[in-house]
A and B are shown apart, each in its own frame.
Chain A
Amino acid sequence: AQSVSQHNHHVILSEAASLELGCNYSYGGTVNLFWYVQYPGQHLQLLLKYFSGDPLVKGIKGFEAEFIKSKFSFNLRKPSVQWSDTAEYFCAAFSGGYNKLIFGAGTRLAVHP
């Protein structure tokens, strides 16, 4: 079955630390990849997306993600996190062959001042 795996369920960091959240997907063909974020009490919103082209994608709030096709990965990074980045992060993948958006289980990030 098609799946999306997020390696860490909970991450705790101090402000200014670097962040990398892992995401792997199991689709074999062309995929569209997404990272969504859910801040406490807010809507789920898009951080960034990859459809094609440059595998290094820039998103909002200083986030970026790199698509590595050979590793079926789409890891999310931020060089220096802030307290306001405390949220839950979801990786998602869409394949036309499967025709639906599959979400990972999510990673809860807590950033301490």
Chain B
Amino acid sequence: SQTIHQWPATLVQPVGSPLSLECTVEGTSNPNLYWYRQAAGRGLQLLFYSVGIGQISSEVPQNLSASRPQDRQFILSSKKLLLSDSGFYLCAWSVLAGGNEQFFGPGTRLTVL
């Protein structure tokens, strides 16, 4: 069966420090991968998605970037964190592009101080 992992589960970082959040998927090949940010009362905002290794689409301009160095690995990064980067970050995968069900990871709670 397929599983999705995210780490760390929680992270507290100072403003201006770098960030690296990792997401890995097991049990499937060539998944579509997604990074979302979940804010209270605002639902899920799509940040990045990827349909293959090295292929990244950015949905909103921001202080974050994403990379996909391997088929089942998706990384969310920042060179210098801002206070506004605090939030709950979710990784998800799907088998077909967009229309099919997306499966979500446990999320990372990021607090920037």
Contact = CB atoms under 8 A, between A and B. Distances in A.
A103 B46 CA distance: 9
Bin chain A's interface residue count: 20 to 34
Contacts of B49: 100
A51 B99 CA distance: 9
A32 interface: yes
B56 to A, nearest CB: 14
B52 to A, nearest CB: 15
Interface stretch (B10-18, B23-31, B36-44, B76-84): B36-44
Contacts of B99: 32, 51, 94, 96
A71 B49 CA distance: 30
Contacts of A9: 41
Interface of A: 4, 9, 32, 34, 36, 43-46, 49, 51, 90, 92, 94, 96, 99-101, 103-106
30 contacts: A9-B41, A32-B99, A32-B100, A34-B101, A36-B104, A43-B105, A43-B106, A44-B44, A44-B90, A44-B104, A45-B104, A46-B101, A46-B103, A49-B101, A90-B43, A92-B44, A94-B98, A96-B99, A99-B97, A99-B98, A100-B46, A100-B59, A101-B102, A103-B43, A103-B44, A103-B45, A105-B41, A105-B42, A105-B43, A106-B42
The 8 closest A-B pairs by CB, nearest first: A103-B43, A44-B104, A103-B44, A105-B43, A32-B99, A94-B99, A99-B98, A106-B43
